[in-house]
Amino acid sequence: MTPVITAYALSPDRGRGLARDMRVRWALEEAGLRYDVRPLSFDERHREARLAGNPFGQIPTYEEGDLVLFESGAIILHIAQQQTSQEHGLLPTEPKARARATAWMFAALNTVEPVILERQTARLLEGGESWAQQRLALIDERIRKRLAELARHLGDAEWLDGGFSAGDLLVVSVLRWLTASGSTLVDEQPNLAAYVARGEARPAFQRAFAAQLALYKASASPEGK
């Protein structure tokens, strides 16, 4: 059964692959699974996403028969847990290594992403406030601290804990908030910058990125659906 995910037809990131459908597309490509996409109109996206099963009106949602899921982290964990072959594995099969890879999924979403998203909020929702510039400097210091801890853990390794996992997929995705929006904070840690580049070089990432960009371009063109 081919799963269906929702995505913005006209993502506000203009095809830079920062909307959260990108993470799920990437995971599906790593897993070697086909999927369909139901684009949501931008004006009606919150209502449509709620109707599709996300109480918070966000994309993506994931439908697989009568299973409806929301939260990209949960969707990726679900996809990873369906995989039985190491070849397309997003999580190690050995139970302890699997638990540790899952810890990196949560670290990406609950420890690394929130401080980075404060920066997005400061720029996008509070960019016109009198305090915006002064506050950005405070936020960047908090991000620097967290990235230094991450870089120290990564060291010279290729991935965070053994082979590439859904934990790396999410940490790379979260760091892309910075690298894809012109911030040089990640570049201050050369091993982290190389880590993000390794993630983006994966064929599964490339396929997912191309697919979300194609949807944006088709939606943005006058003849686009």
Under the criterion CB under 8 A, does residue 52 sit at the interface with a second copy?
no
Alpha-carbon distance of 173 to 20, in angstroms, equals: 9
68-99 in b/e form (b: 16+ CB < 10 A) is ebbbbbebbbbbbeebeeeebbbbbeeeeebe
Strand partners for 4: 36, 63
Under the criterion CB under 8 A, does residue 73 sit at the interface with a second copy?
yes
Which 101-120 residues touch a second copy, going by CB under 8 A? 102-103, 105-107, 109-111, 113-114, 117-118
- One-letter amino acid at 64 equals E
First to last CA, the chain: 25
Under the criterion CB under 8 A, does residue 47 sit at the interface with a second copy?
no
The region of 24-32, 35-43, 145-153, 195-203 touching a second copy under the rule CB under 8 A is: 145-153
Q: How far is the CB of 205 from a second copy (least distance, A)?
A: 21
> What is the total residue count of the chain?
225
Q: How far is the CB of 220 from a second copy (least distance, A)?
A: 28
- One-letter amino acid at 18 equals L
The region of 29-37, 148-156, 202-210, 217-225 touching a second copy under the rule CB under 8 A is: 148-156
Shorter beta-carbon distance to a second copy: residue 55 or 222: 55
Shorter beta-carbon distance to a second copy: residue 90 or 215: 90
Structure tokens that stand for 89 in this block: 């594995």
Sheet of 67-70, strand order:
36-40, 4-8, 61-64, 67-70
Count of CB atoms within 10 A of residue 175's CB?
Answer: 25
Shorter beta-carbon distance to a second copy: residue 68 or 214: 68
**Rule CB under 8 A: which residues touch a second copy?**
55-58, 66-75, 77-78, 96, 99-100, 102-103, 105-107, 109-111, 113-114, 117-118, 121, 125-126, 129-131, 134-135, 138, 146, 149-150, 152-153
